[in-house]
Amino acid sequence: MRIRLLSLALAAALLPLVAVAAPSASAKPVAAAQADSYWRTAHTVTTEGGVTIGGRHIAYTADTGTLILHDKQGKPTGEMFYVAYFKRGADPARRPIAFLYNGGPGSSSVWLHMGGFGPVRVVTDSHTHTPPAPYSLVNNADSLLDASDLVFVDAMGTGFSRILDKQQGGVGTPKMFYGVDPDGQAYAQFISEFLSRYGRWNSPKYLIGESYGTTRSAVLANILEQQDNIDLNGVVLLSTILNFDTAIDTPNLNPGINLTYALGLPTYAATAWYHKALSHAPATLHPWLDQVQSWAMGPYLQALDQGSALAPAQEQQIAAQMAQYTGLPESYIVKADLRVTGPEFEQTLLLPHGETTGRLDARFSGPTMDPLAEMAAYDPQSAAISSAYTAAFNDYVRKTLKFGGDHTYRIGSNSVGNDWVFSHTLPGQTAPVAFVGTNVLPDLAAAMSYNPDLKVMVNAGYYDLATPYYAAVYQMQQLPMQARLQKNIEYRFYHTGHMIYVRPADLATLHANIAAFIRASDREPVAAK
């Protein structure tokens, strides 16, 4: 279970770090790196560049650096790496600023940086395996720099972020960072320090997190609001998971909680439709998918909740309908007791063709490694793009941003995930609560109640088997807060998977939606009376 939860970030971790020659954005160095002070003190390299968005050229300054975190006694505990892009000539007091990060736990922010919203992006195939190097970096016409300054932050233990232990002249330990609560506190300290360093306290502020990054955003938003008195303008959730009991990876380890299967089934149906694996496929995904959702939460969930009391004839009826919706063999569904996990679905759907479907994005598929296995042995989507992101960023950070030298950039870190503590202290409680799955719905609800002007945007892909889109909708509808605050939540759906931006058409739509969200939630200062 731990392994499957850890992979909620994004692509596979600990891939070889390859440097290749790739075109880089125009930039001129303003400061040179000093290796002798690299890991122990705050260190920044400034470069300049430009990006063209919507036909308009935007000049920017990029600060690539580290920020030192401290304990309550002022002793250094860790060094967090970031890349910050500032639009040149903009008024910092009115210019929005967004903090972006991926998840894992144990993933760097390279995915959102190089695939989504940075000024350059790496070119990959949108649903098949990207061929090996050389890779291309191109101007990102869908960068969010037209709407906000951007700060990409790497979680401790990933990227160039490192714990400063005794050998590094600090007092840091993994327990200070590797867990739901300490991770949130670390990001809160980073943001507070960043606002002071760059004089951005009066800027409109946004959090943009993906996958476990959405879990982090819920915790972080509440810490910033109630502990640090930092009101946020908006929180953007990409591929949301706030209650891990809804994860379709391992619901079999939590018997008696059948809701998870119902929330994942619409994604199974969408995937089967995409791969033309249905015997009676509708011409379009909608409105058929709405029908699937209703059946999943109605007859299907009701049947599962009967458990062993379910009559054989009714079980057969449910299995037959489930086969029609998911493309799985009826006999397989009966054998699975009507309960098919995500990894089992990924392994089984295209098995007759010798293919395994992707987990992060089920549009992807790849050769099945073991036809006799119960579950998928790997994620074809991760395999398809991870090398490109790894190589492109390692090249870009050194050649264009002039940072890093011969230090290792950790795209992902299993050591972070393996040490991660999923227990969490809920708002209003004094001790952590250990759930089968972490649940931070109370945190986001508390933040939205404390700051009733806080706006939240939910973005989900129909083909995401890591964080199913319908589970995201369900979670948001269960937030323990006043119903009237639900009006502050908006939803956007895409014909892609976990990493919405890998499909160029959806990246353009995602950019337009988030930019509109930022502009709508930004506002003029309150006038004096």
Domain ranges (residues) in the chain: 2-67+77-164+186-245+384-415+437-521
Residues of the chain with pLDDT > 90, as a percent, come to 83
What digits encode the pLDDT tens for the residues 88-139?
A: 999 998 999 999 999 999 999 999 999 999 999 999 999 999 999 999 999 9
Query: How many Å apart are CA 74 and CA 358, to the nearest integer?
Result: 46
pLDDT for 139-176, tens place per residue?
A: 999 999 999 999 999 999 999 999 999 888 899 999 99
Record the pTM: 0.92
381-428 confidence digits (pLDDT tens) = 999 999 999 999 999 999 999 999 888 999 998 878 788 988 888 887
* Averaged pLDDT for residues 5-21: 34
Contact residues for 181 (Cβ-Cβ < 8 A; gap 6+): 219, 421, 424, 425, 432
Residue percentage of the chain with pLDDT more than 70: 90
pLDDT at 1: 35
Locate 263 and state its tokens.
């929330």
Query: Would you place residue 42 in the very low, low, confident or very high pLDDT band (cuts 50, 70, 90)?
Result: confident
Q: What is the mean pLDDT of residues 474-484?
A: 98
Specify the pLDDT at position 301.
Answer: 98
pLDDT > 50? residue 7: no
Q: Does domain 2-67+77-164+186-245+384-415+437-521 have CATH number 3.40.50.1820?
A: yes
Rounded mean pLDDT of 177-195?
97
In the predicted structure, residue 15 carries a pLDDT above the cut 60: no
Residue 18 in this model has a pLDDT that exceeds 90: no
Give the integer Cα–Cα distance in Å for 489 and 421.
Answer: 29
Structure tokens at 187: 């990001």
DSSP three-state, residue 528 = coil
Instruction: Give the tens place of pLDDT for each residue, 306-326.
Output: 999 999 999 999 999 999 999
Assess contact for 457 and 240: CB atoms under 8 A. Answer: no
Looking at residue 527, its pLDDT comes to 63
How far is Cα 348 from Cα 354, in angstroms, rounded to an integer?
10
* Torsions phi, psi for 373 (to 5 deg): -75, 155
- The whole-number pLDDT of residue 14 equals 30
Give the pLDDT confidence score for residue 350 in this predicted structure.
98
* CA angle in degrees (0–180, nearest 5) for 324-327-331: 85
Helix (H) or strand (E) holding 48: strand 43-53
Per the prediction, the chain carries an average pLDDT of: 91
Token pair in block for residue 40? 């122990």
Question: Average of pLDDT values for 241-253?
Answer: 94
